[in-house]
Structure 1
Amino acid sequence: MSEEQPHSPWQEDIFNVLKQGNIRQVAYVPDAGHAHVIRRVHAEPSMRGIVLTTEEEGVAVASGAWLGGERAALLMQSSGVGNCINMMSLLQSCRFPFLSLVTMRGEYAEFNPWQVPMSKATQGSMELMGITVLRAERADEVEDIVSAALDAAFEGGEQVAVLLSQSLIGRKKWIRN
């Protein structure tokens, strides 16, 4: 069994908000920024982690979960938001509640220039699709912002995304062999 990688308290806060908010399905494309939450979801008997082949499948999973009487959240990286734009029309047409947590790339100390264009377009793209976008820049605000987004989605019937700043996740390094 592999040893769990160190995590920041805000990452555990996200898991706790999801659990306390009765999120039962968590769809994701594997991402280092969400790794702790993903591990915790898979270890929690009341939750189901669902690995996706592409992010737009997560919009369908979240919609289907709601139709089946459960709450779901979609975890993705900013580079995956562009994959979801067409599917997000389902959220508006059917007025499904929606919660997504998006780890940002292409901003703070980014080494990969391919991440930058979608990073610059993430918030605007989501807003154009009718999704309310909240942003967490500091560790001490993550819990409150994610909790507010969860309430807005599942109590208020909104579609909400929380952008988790790249500075929260930390610098990424390109490792050459």
Structure 2
Amino acid sequence: MNTQAPSAPAWQQEIYQVLKAGNVKQVAYVPDAGHSHVIRSVIADPDIEDVVLTTEEEGVAVTSGAWLGGQRAVLLMQSSGVGNCVNMFSLLQSCRFPFFTLVTMRGEYAEFNPWQGPMGKQTQAALELMGITVFRADDPDAVGEIVSAGFDAAFEAGEQVAVLLSQSLIGRKKWERSNG
């Protein structure tokens, strides 16, 4: 009997490798299954501080504060969290802080939850309206390159960048009912 956890897909491993190679010192997140490999990897890495948030807009402040303190930080969130951050994104524009976020998408491919649809359909537009450059990853073979390009645009060129990880890339979610 194999009790070892299944290995994460290569594209998920590549995301963590980009963050590690880029000298990220803090990763802020609201727990999300789509980011689970990166979250587990960060928790296990003594060189990166994992910062669990109660709401995504706190992550904008965490990443900005990290930059002011001389560190690189990344925000992991789901597309529904982008709506929570819109007001805080003004901090990025006003202060011109570099910013990098990875966004797992909902409300797209085979979505079962109707509450995810509206924000999922407007995530890219909301980010762009707030001046954030958006890259999108749909192909597992291109994720590493897209994340690396977005990371460099943020931390080498000083831009505000979001990489959207498509719902088809992450896989289909299904509602599970408890029998209790």
TM over 0.5: yes
| Structure 2 residue aligned with 1:127 | 128
Does the alignment pair 1:162 with 2:171? no
In 1, distance between residues paired with 2:165 and 2:104? 5
In 1, distance between residues paired with 2:105 and 2:81? 10
| Structure 1 residue aligned with 2:105 | 104
| Structure 2 residue aligned with 1:43 | 44
In 2, distance between residues paired with 1:112 and 1:13? 29
In 2, distance between residues paired with 1:172 and 1:5? 18
| Structure 2 residue aligned with 1:176 | 177
Ranges of 4+ aligned residues in structure 1 off by more than 3 Å: 2-6
In 2, distance between residues paired with 1:36 and 1:5? 11
Q: How many residues align?
A: 176
TM-score (norm 2): 0.96
What is the Cα deviation at residue 169 of structure 1? Answer: 0.6
Q: Percent identity?
A: 72
In 2, distance between residues paired with 1:5 and 1:119? 29
TM-score (norm 1): 0.97
Does the alignment pair 1:86 with 2:56? no
What is the Cα deviation at residue 8 of structure 1? Answer: 1.0
What is the Cα deviation at residue 28 of structure 1? Answer: 0.1
1:34-89 per-residue CA deviation (whole Å, 9 max, x = no partner) reads: 00100000111111110000000000000000000000000000000000000000
Q: Secondary structure at the match of 1:139?
A: coil
User: C-alpha root-mean-square deviation of aligned residues, in Å?
Assistant: 1.0
Q: Which consecutive residues of structure 1, in runs of 5 or more, have no partner in the other structure?
A: none
Alignment of 1:113-152 (within 5 A): 113-152=114-153
